Amino acid sequence: MEQQYILAMDQGTTSSRAIIFDRDRNIISIAQKEFTQIFPKPGWVEHDPHEIWSTQAGVTAEATTKAGLNGKNIAAIGITNQRETIVVWEKESGKPVYNAIVWQDKRTADYCDELRQSGKHKMIQEKTGLILDPYFSATKIKWILDNVEGAREKATNGELICGTIDTWLVWNLTRGDVHITDVTNASRSLLFNIHTMDWDAELLDLFKIPATMLPQVKESSEIYGESRTTIFAHKVKIAGIAGDQQAALFGQQCIEKGMVKNTYGTGCFMLMNIGDKPIMSKNNLLTTVAWKINGKTEYALEGSIFIGGALVQWLRDNLNVINRSADVEQLALSEKDNGGVTFIPTFAGLGAPYWNARAQGTLFGLTRATTNGHIARASLEAISLQTRDVLKAMEADSGIPIKELRVDGGATANNLLMQIQANVLNSQVVRPKITETTALGAAYLAGLAVGFWKNEEEISKFWAQDRVFEPEKEQEEQTRQIIKQWTKGIKALQFWTEN
């Protein structure tokens, strides 16, 4: 029998990737392609659904060819995706009626304010575990139905369907044969009741979304169907799905209650495994489904930071102070401190634990002596300090002091960022040997469903640390000053937004 592999499709906010893993979770092949970010108006963010599919199909074919494989060698496909981003398309033709509206998009902020003023936010949080915010999918679907000519009529007639990006990929992989999502993506929609584990009729009625549009909700690890595209010479089972942050939690093997990971991608997302019962946050965090495997649901507390690695891209593309994202570390090291600069990078509003959709990016403390190095250092501190705010809220909600933070994502290669993170948290920051934990989590979920790996116990033995960053005692005073500046800056920004 030919050796078998698992293919992970990792469809992110700025790029589509495909990674092939062997049984010992070595990366055999990887391919990646960025796609267009569309900004029609300030605060609006869109993607072309066709480009998402074509780039994902393209990198999948590239990774498979590079590895010299065909469909026969691939035991299963696992999918992980940018969450909350929504596509609405015609059931018969498969043609989207509008661009994908991205999780960062803020066009429904006024509508969210109206719902909040009418007191609906409490009922929404009780059922979904989510804070009412433009971030989530339901208000985006409603916007498309209300603003695209003929869309609401078609939806009422059962002619339109919708889904998050996992749903869109599976639909295209199976040529319209399978319309499903998994519990993790469903739990980010504002339409899914995390207690009954099903779409909620009262929420569908509130957002005026016909139930016929929605995909069937499946577990995170089961066989959903087989590929019917020309990417592979043979049919391949599609067997694992999780939203990117839940996939990273599983890839990091945070499978015990109280374990925490933070992913540094376009945004930063911290999740804590809270076990098999949902805890409703009193500190503006989200309660979300971590995964469902073999009939058992696990939950997580989550803090979402909208701008993380995207801040480094902004320094590169908008300010042109670096040529490559990786150059930010050396630029930040050119100065011994931030020179009094505090950067609050709220380009897409403030996420957890503040939830201010109208907050805009702000630089405090600029003088004639300010250099690009100061701004670069303040940028890395901003990523770390946003993470600290979330971690403190998580400790308060769970009653568990967090002594170790497992980290993953592209920005974890930046040693200075990881050291600053350890300093401001005053706890260990642990980087694993494999930082591709999002794709790995999707691979694990798919592999478990088809028996590629026997059980979770076998998988847990794979996790290995690369480096542990300890808080630096000699930096304590500087760290205290950074935190103090940040707290002042947040208060000033909130005041600016309100007035």
Q: Is 245 annotated as a binding residue?
A: yes
Q: Is 189 annotated as a binding residue?
A: no
**Among the residues of 367-411, which ranges form H helices?**
372-398
Q: Is 14 annotated as a binding residue?
A: yes
Tell me which residue of 23, 26, 7, 17 sits closest to 434, measured CA to CA: 26
Q: What are phi and psi of 25, to 5 degrees?
A: 55, 30
Are the beta carbons of 164 and 188 closer than 8 angstroms?
Answer: yes
Give CA–CA dist 128/199, Å, rounded: 10
Give CA–CA dist 302/35, Å, rounded: 27
Return the H-helix or E-strand segment holding 45: none
Are the beta carbons of 132 and 112 closer than 8 angstroms?
Answer: yes
Q: Which residue has the tokens 């505090």?
A: 342
HSE at residue 24, side-chain half, CA atoms within 13 A, is 2
Q: Is 188 annotated as a binding residue?
A: no
Q: Is 410 annotated as a binding residue?
A: yes
Beta bridge partners of 182: 218
Give CA–CA dist 25/30, Å, rounded: 13
Q: What are phi and psi of 23, to 5 degrees?
A: -65, -30
Q: Is 17 annotated as a binding residue?
A: yes
| Residue 296 CB-density burial (10 A; 0-12 exposed, 13-18 middle, 19+ buried) | exposed
**Among the residues of 129-284, which ranges form H helices?**
137-147, 151-156, 165-173, 183-186, 201-207, 244-251
E-strand stretches of 235-370: 237-243, 260-264, 268-275, 286-293, 296-305, 342-344, 362-364
Give CA–CA dist 292/198, Å, rounded: 13
Q: Which two tokens stand for residue 52?
A: 């998402």
Are the beta carbons of 1 and 14 closer than 8 angstroms?
Answer: no
Evaluated on CA atoms 316, 320, 326, 328, the torsion sign reads negative
Q: Is 456 annotated as a binding residue?
A: no
Q: Is 224 annotated as a binding residue?
A: no
Q: Is 65 annotated as a binding residue?
A: no
Strand order in the sheet with 160-164: 46-47, 100-101, 86-90, 160-164
Q: Is 156 annotated as a binding residue?
A: no
Q: Is 99 annotated as a binding residue?
A: no
353 preceded by a cis bond (ω within 30 of 0)? yes
Q: Is 414 annotated as a binding residue?
A: yes
Taking phi over 0 as left and psi of -120 to 50 as alpha, with beta for the rest, 455 belongs to beta
Q: Which residue has the tokens 């087989």?
A: 226
Residue 359 CB partners (closer than 8 Å, separation 6+): 344, 346, 349, 350, 493, 494, 497
Residues annotated in a binding site = 13-15, 17, 83-84, 135, 244-245, 266, 309, 313, 410, 414
Residues annotated in a binding site for glycerol = 83-84, 135, 244-245
Residues annotated in a binding site for ATP = 13-15, 266, 309, 313, 410
Residues annotated in a binding site for sn-glycerol 3-phosphate = 13, 83-84, 135, 244
Residues annotated in a binding site for ADP = 13, 17, 266, 309, 410, 414
